[in-house]
Amino acid sequence: MKLRKVTAASATVFALALTATACGGDKNEGGGSGSGDGKTITVGIKFDQPGLGQKTPQGYAGFDVDVATYVAKKLGYNANQIEWKEAKSGDRETMLQRGDVDFIAATYSITPERQEKVDFAGPYLLAHQDVLVRADDNSIKSPADLNDKKLCSVTGSTSAQNVKEKLAPKADLQQYPTYSACLGGLQTKRIDALTTDDSILAGYAAQEQFKGKFKLGGFKMTNENYGIGVKKGSDLKDKINKALEDMVADKSWQKAVDKNLGPADYKNEPAPKIGDIKS
């Protein structure tokens, strides 16, 4: 009788061990392998940039989201296997270094300083610093016309400082907490222009409530090479580069631009060649 109890207990322990092993097989072993064997792949995007990366009641939307979804599919993951994680600007390098995400597509400009910390696939979009003005305002035709105008950007933005220091030193710089607040000021004529990357401006202007109310200046004041960030030394870089080339070749890239940024009459640059970083 005693022997039977021991045998039964051993059988129970063995069964539990098998169950634990089976459960462990479903755990994501790090989609960074790009094999699609893991259950999910974790991708960093912006949650608050309309037209690029935005969390909505219906899910996630924007150009960066479409690019990331296409890339993930090429890596072997369906859309429902993607775990989206918010990647705020100041957190992106840390998130990659810690392995919080497999890759980041979040208006992530490739710079020498960032390349020291992480690797980049791409670029997949060449954006430029620009201004957004009211559709009926024809007084701002060049950066110099921003002198004596009320220029808005978010608090701490380098974009506004770039304009004020290099292009329009007499601009009246207005710093608001969010781009949405700047847009509200632009709409009510409390400010005259909003500045940041043209892709970001186009995303905001493409929102349903703003369609037809604003226009881009088209000034191309800087080059912003958006790349997909991966952990330093990751083998995902080459795989993502191949996926980006496929996205351009099968026209999915242009369709994503038109869908997300086209309503703001965004004149996009042609898809950049992999590794071609414009200074």
Same domain, 119 and 229: yes
Question: Quick check: is 137 in a domain?
Answer: yes
Question: Quick check: is 279 in a domain?
Answer: no
pLDDT at position 112 over 60: yes
As a whole-number percent, the residues of the chain with pLDDT over 90 amount to 78
**pLDDT per residue as tens digits for the range 56-77:** 999 999 999 999 999 999 999 9
pLDDT at res. 37: 56
Closest CA to 34 of 237, 245, 248, 249: 237
Same domain, 90 and 146: no
Question: Quick check: is 146 in a domain?
Answer: yes
Same domain, 50 and 118: yes
Confidence of residue 16 (pLDDT cuts 50, 70, 90): very low
Same domain, 143 and 207: yes
pLDDT at res. 102: 98
Q: What is the mean pLDDT of the chain?
A: 88
Give the chain's domain count: 2
Same domain, 208 and 146: yes
Question: What range defines the domain where residue 203 resides?
Answer: 128-216
Same domain, 132 and 113: no
Same domain, 41 and 120: yes
Same domain, 87 and 209: no
Question: Quick check: is 157 in a domain?
Answer: yes
CA 149 to chain centre: 30
**CA-CA distance, 12 to 263, in Å (whole number)?**
63
pLDDT at res. 38: 58
Q: What are the helix (H) ranges across the chain?
A: 2-24, 63-74, 92-98, 112-115, 158-162, 179-187, 198-205, 236-249, 252-261
Q: Between 263 and 276, where is the model more confident?
A: 276
Same domain, 171 and 229: no
Same domain, 44 and 120: yes
C-alpha atoms less than 13 angstroms from C-alpha of 211 in its C-beta half-sphere: 9
Among the candidates 160, 187, 216, a domain finishes at 216
Question: Quick check: is 8 in a domain?
Answer: no
Strand partners, 54: 48, 61
Closest CA to 195 of 142, 240, 235, 159: 159
Burial of 90 (0-12, 13-18, 19+ CB in 10 A): exposed
**CA-CA distance, 157 to 165, in Å (whole number)?**
13
Q: CATH number of the domain at 106, please.
A: 3.40.190.10
**CA-CA distance, 104 to 92, in Å (whole number)?**
7
Q: Between 240 and 36, where is the model more confident?
A: 240
Task: Encode 26-37 in three state secondary structure.
Answer: CCCCCHHHCCCC
**pLDDT per residue as tens digits for the range 209-247:** 998 999 999 999 999 999 999 999 999 999 999 999 999
**pLDDT per residue as tens digits for the range 134-188:** 999 999 999 999 999 999 998 878 888 889 899 999 999 999 998 889 999 999 9
Question: Quick check: is 278 in a domain?
Answer: no
Question: Quick check: is 82 in a domain?
Answer: yes
**CA-CA distance, 236 to 121, in Å (whole number)?**
8
Tokens in use for 65? 């989201």
Question: Quick check: is 233 in a domain?
Answer: yes
